[in-house]
Amino acid sequence: MTRSAVRNRTVQTEMTDPNLKKRRTETMRKWLAVTMMIALACALMAGCGGTAKTPEDTPLDELIKASEKERPAWTLEKPENKGGYMYIVGISMDMSNEQLGRRRAMQNARTEMSDYLGTLVKAKFEQANVDFGLASDVVDPTTSAREYGKQMSANFISQLEGTKFYWEQRKKLTGIGYRYFALCRIPEKMINDGVREDAAKRLQDAQRRAKEQSDRVAKEQLEKVGTMWAQLEQQGLFKD
């Protein structure tokens, strides 16, 4: 169909349907209005691009009330170990109620304890690799420390004690939430005793495997591993 024929057909349709032209005009007006709104929104977003605020700086994360007038220092930085105790801080996300926030903060503290113990053990393993020349396939500091930290922390989870708690009630776009902080501690002696007991078992296992090993190089490596565990058994993770 030619353009002329289409135009003539359109004119005929408008003559038979007087409201057709009016509906088309209304549709065009709505389309123009939507287009202008989209253009305005894009301009506003482009203008604000360089001054984006963090949630803490906007009304989307507003402090309503807290358990104390100011955040305690221990919520900002983990206290040093002292008095024979290892200290850990657990923090929750914004939860729907206080009880859930407190529970999540304690769960986070247990995870932090595992990571912290893993870091201490990793330092021991790395030093042992240097001192004894252990091959990475015998004792890999990163992997071994991670697994060892998880194992040790699992043994002490029930002994982790929450000593102080601090909470904030915050208003966010999704609603009201409770953010919890938990200061926890565990006796260093308890960890040392557990580490030494485990190291003694691993020492015996390394010595047994070394005796059964016929390959000279592998035997020497296992003997060095045994020496490493003997050293950990003697020193522990913390100074007595």
| CA–CA distance, 222 with 55 (Å, rounded to integer) | 53
Q: Is the pLDDT of residue 123 over 60?
A: yes
Q: Are 200 and 161 within 8 A, CB to CB?
A: no
pLDDT band at 228 (very low <50, low <70, confident <90, very high): confident
Q: Do residue 169 and residue 88 come from a single domain?
A: yes
Does any domain span residue 57?
Answer: no
pTM: 0.66
Does any domain span residue 201?
Answer: yes
Domain that includes residue 35, residue range: 3-44
**Averaged pLDDT, 10-17:** 47
Does any domain span residue 24?
Answer: yes
User: What pLDDT shows up at residue 183?
Assistant: 97
Q: Do residue 24 and residue 120 come from a single domain?
A: no
Residue-wise pLDDT tens digits, 46-103: 444 433 333 354 456 789 999 999 999 999 999 999 999 999 999 999 999 999 999 9
Q: Do residue 91 and residue 183 come from a single domain?
A: yes
Q: Do residue 37 and residue 78 come from a single domain?
A: no
Does any domain span residue 50?
Answer: no
Does any domain span residue 49?
Answer: no
Q: Do residue 180 and residue 111 come from a single domain?
A: yes
In 19-116 the beta strands, taken as DSSP E runs, fall at 61-66, 85-91
Backbone region of residue 170 per phi and psi (left: phi > 0; alpha: psi in -120 to 50; beta: other values): beta
Name the domain count of the chain.
2
Q: Do residue 34 and residue 142 come from a single domain?
A: no
Distances (CA, A) of 70 to 52, 53, 80, 141, 143: 26, 23, 21, 41, 40
Does any domain span residue 35?
Answer: yes
Determine which of 42-46, 86-90, 112-116, 195-199 has the lowest per-residue pLDDT on average: 42-46
Does any domain span residue 66?
Answer: no
* Token output for 204: 């015996």
pLDDT band at 127 (very low <50, low <70, confident <90, very high): confident
Between 11 and 132, name the one with better pLDDT. Answer: 132
